[in-house]
Amino acid sequence: MAQQELNARYAAVVEYRGSDFKGWQSQDGERTVQRCVEQGLSNVAGQPISVITAGRTDSGVHATGQVIHFDSPVERTDRAWVMGANTDLPFDIRLRAAQRVSDDFHARFKAIRRSYRYIILNQREASAVYGQLVTHEYRKINVSAMQKATTYLTGENDYSSFRASGCQARSPVRTITKLEVASAGPWIWIDVVANAFLQHMVRNLVGVLLTIGAGEEPVEWAKTVLQAKDRTKGGVTGRPEGLYLAKVEYPTEFAIIMPVPKPVRFW
């Protein structure tokens, strides 16, 4: 008997180490996360599967809680999607969970909050073990100064000074509900939660905070950069290695109950 065709929508959580990928988005001739994930899911479905992501990540950026959705003409159990795809996926990508969702769910457009964590190893020498997983900062960083600077950068603002020149977002206005800096020994981490992010926004925020933490600019410089609405006033962009997409949240009506791991830490 021929298998009945349908149009089932599924959501899934994807975890990956971005070190050896040219970012999320598929590119001809390049190893990307999207291409690998689609290949793994296509093998489970027995036919081509295309995925939509909550947010694209750059080369070298990692994720512990990336969310995708995809439509399948064949039905599979949640466990079959996860186990089947992981059998074919490379060691640096894993599906953590999958579930059937309503047809109006959209991984990108229905997301209401996204959380990132940026991890810095603040010591003279770089780490041989964590080199591709964290950002090394040899300068002595004043965490207290960084914490004070965050107060100028939260809320609903025009973040033009923190967007990449090639950013295609229609509006530079975003709402940051959380921007916190904490430390333990040589480790410094920055947690950022917002309704959405501009291209390179988190890394540019980190660049400003680290410049202040290194004593190269005063705390109030964060406000100056924000008010300038000019990327050229914002200083360097933080390196991609320390950045993790940690979590994506959706309205409760979609009942997204997939287990999302807590933001990564090494200490």
Q: Please give the class, per CATH, of domain 8-110.
A: alpha beta
Could you give the CA distance from residue 200 to residue 163 in angstroms, rounded to a whole number?
6
Distance CA 106, CA 38 (A): 17
Identical fold, 8-110 and 113-245: yes
* Active-site hit among 28, 58, 191, 230: 58
Question: 39: helix, coil or strand?
Answer: helix
Fold of 113-245: Alpha-Beta Plaits (3.30.70)
The 10s digit of each residue's pLDDT in 191-233 is: 999 999 999 999 999 999 999 999 999 999 999 999 999 999 9
| Residue 58 appears among annotated catalytic residues | yes
- Identity of the residue numbered 77: T
Q: How confident is the model over 239-249, as pLDDT tens digits?
A: 999 999 999 99
The domain segmentation of the chain, as residue ranges, is: 8-110, 113-245
Average pLDDT score over the chain: 93
E strand intervals along 148-257: 155-158, 173-184, 187-194, 243-249
**Do 243 and 133 touch, CB atoms closer than 8 A?**
no
Q: At what angle do helices 78-88 and 33-45 cross, to 10 degrees?
A: 120
Q: Hey, what are 12's tokens?
A: 């899934």
